[in-house]
Amino acid sequence: MRIVSPRFPPSLPVSAHGAPVAGSEVKRSFAKRAMSEGNGPTGARSGSRLGGFCHRAASLGARGGCAPWEPSERRHPPRLRALGFQTFNARHLPSPPLGRIAGMTTIYQLPTPALLLDIDRLDANLSQMADKAHRLEVALRPHIKTHKCLEVARRQVELGCRGLTVSTLHEARVFSSHGFNDLTWAFPVILNRIEEARTIAQRCTLRLVVDSPTAIDALEASRHPFHVWLKVDCGYHRAGVDPTSAEASDLARRLADSPTLVFDGLLTHSGQAYRAAGPEELRQIAEHERRVMVELARRLRAEGLAVPALSVGSTPALAAAESLAGVDEIRPGNYAFFDLTQSLLGACQPGDCAVSVWSSVVSRPAGAATCVLDAGALALSKDSGPSHLTLPVFGRLFEDYSAGELSPDAAVEAISQEHGILSQPRPVGTRVRLLPTHSCLTVAHYDEYWVVQGEEVVDRWKIWRGR
């Protein structure tokens, strides 16, 4: 089977000012923890060389040579700050529960299938989006449904994000109980879970999303001063009010005039970007999304309504966006990891993808032109990619991982629950590194990441999945 190879544009530029440096307080607390756990700044190793952020943080903190904490002043538009959006202060967050790795140092010693998280690629992706948000003068509220991981969210906070986006109340519960105090549940509110939402909203600012009068009635009946976004359909046609409709005005007015609720503004998600043919169409979708929102806000403001903020975004549209004038915040999620789908869309290159599945050949039937992997639907997910761009595949094989090169013709072409069929024969016992088609869905099948730097395993982070 021959797989269509996409043409990749260059990845997002890294800004001239570089990634922001974490605050001295943060570094000191990491350093203190690292020292107390026997991982001093000189790298005294107790099963885990602290890679990525933690190692750097430990060394810098211990030397006392940190750049000062850069407050949100520089990163966040005054408009949002004036509205009372809370700024995370990483100093108040509890220490991450770092899992120690006992006696395992390279990926060749891991049981397969294993979910690998490349900390250097992750950090580059997080930094690039933070830089882009800064350059385009919008706040960044990352969607954590992609990673569901406290350590990754903490790094996003260090890089200056303003609050987080979650897709489930489980995520809201977990992240709020670990100190993240400003969350948008970017899903049409589930009426039978408003009491649960209320409990969570006692300990953090929980922002909800509605697109119906019934949901507004139910929230008002709860008597809790929930923050509420009005969901707008900017062309995805999944949920949200038609931006040209009278309903959009009516619901916005109800929220703005509500004696109970706090109107946060208009929120949309350009999921139609996943149907784009390439970067030029992505750019057009991003611009359309921006224009729809700015025009609706202008209309509502002309009708006398205060529209506090506009929130937009999807990873592929934001990868291509050139202007976000009039927009206040963006909510990308997948950008943390990227995946095969994003590379096919032209939002990244395979070498930017931070999550891969480490798998073994378990069977090679005699005479077959294929072999069987231990990575099936529960290790990769059943997402077979954007059908307008590629043949259905559940993952592609890295030919040369460090160079970011995919094999031109080896892919997981069929799956059952635990079996994956690789489109090339390989000897039993061979290990392969697979690029998943949709990293968000892949990650949701695992309990933990093996955090790696090159082929070395440097840590183990929990994936907080649940409903």
Give the residue with the Cβ less far from ligand PLP, 146 or 384.
146
Nearest to 193 by CA among 178, 209, 213: 209
Question: Residue 451 CB, nearest distance to ligand PLP (Å)?
Answer: 21
Q: Residue 212: exposed, middle, or buried by beta-carbon count in 10 A (0-12, 13-18, 19+)? A: middle
User: Terminal CA-to-CA distance of the chain, rounded, Å?
Assistant: 38
Give the residue with the Cβ less far from ligand PLP, 134 or 143.
143
Question: Residue 434 CB, nearest distance to ligand PLP (Å)?
Answer: 20
DSSP state of 150: H
Give the residue with the Cβ less far from ligand PLP, 140 or 411.
140
Question: Residue 395 CB, nearest distance to ligand PLP (Å)?
Answer: 18
Question: Residue 331 CB, nearest distance to ligand PLP (Å)?
Answer: 4
Question: Residue 443 CB, nearest distance to ligand PLP (Å)?
Answer: 12
* Residues in Cβ contact with 224 at an 8 Å cutoff, skipping those fewer than 6 apart: 198, 201, 260
Question: Residue 398 CB, nearest distance to ligand PLP (Å)?
Answer: 22
Give the residue with the Cβ less far from ligand PLP, 205 or 341.
341
Helices and strands in the chain, H and E counts: 14, 17
Q: Read out DSSP for 170-216?
A: HHHHHHHTTT--EEEEEEE--GGGHHHHHHHHTTSEEEEEE-SHHHH
Query: How far is Cα 92 from Cα 98, in angstroms, rounded to an integer?
Result: 18
Question: Residue 317 CB, nearest distance to ligand PLP (Å)?
Answer: 8
Q: Which residues bind ligand PLP (CB under 6 A)?
A: 143, 146, 165, 186, 269, 313-315, 331-335
Give the residue with the Cβ less far from ligand PLP, 359 or 384.
384
Query: How far is Cα 296 from Cα 278, in angstroms, rounded to an integer?
Result: 27
Give the residue with the Cβ less far from ligand PLP, 27 or 227.
227
Phi, psi of 415 (to 5 degrees): -145, 150
Give the residue with the Cβ less far from ligand PLP, 143 or 224.
143
Max CA pair span of the chain? 74
Query: How far is Cα 119 from Cα 129, in angstroms, rounded to an integer?
Result: 16
125 contacts 337 by C-beta, under 8 angstroms: yes
Question: Residue 269 CB, nearest distance to ligand PLP (Å)?
Answer: 4
In sign, the C-alpha dihedral spanning 277, 161, 95, 183 is negative
Question: Residue 122 CB, nearest distance to ligand PLP (Å)?
Answer: 15
Give the residue with the Cβ less far from ligand PLP, 338 or 358.
338
Give the residue with the Cβ less far from ligand PLP, 167 or 453.
167
Phi, psi of 285 (to 5 degrees): -65, -40
Question: Residue 161 CB, nearest distance to ligand PLP (Å)?
Answer: 13
Coil/strand/helix, residue 267: strand
Query: How far is Cα 358 from Cα 241, in angstroms, rounded to an integer?
Result: 42
* Residues in Cβ contact with 336 at an 8 Å cutoff, skipping those fewer than 6 apart: 122, 125, 126, 142, 146, 147, 152, 156, 354
Give the residue with the Cβ less far from ligand PLP, 186 or 415.
186
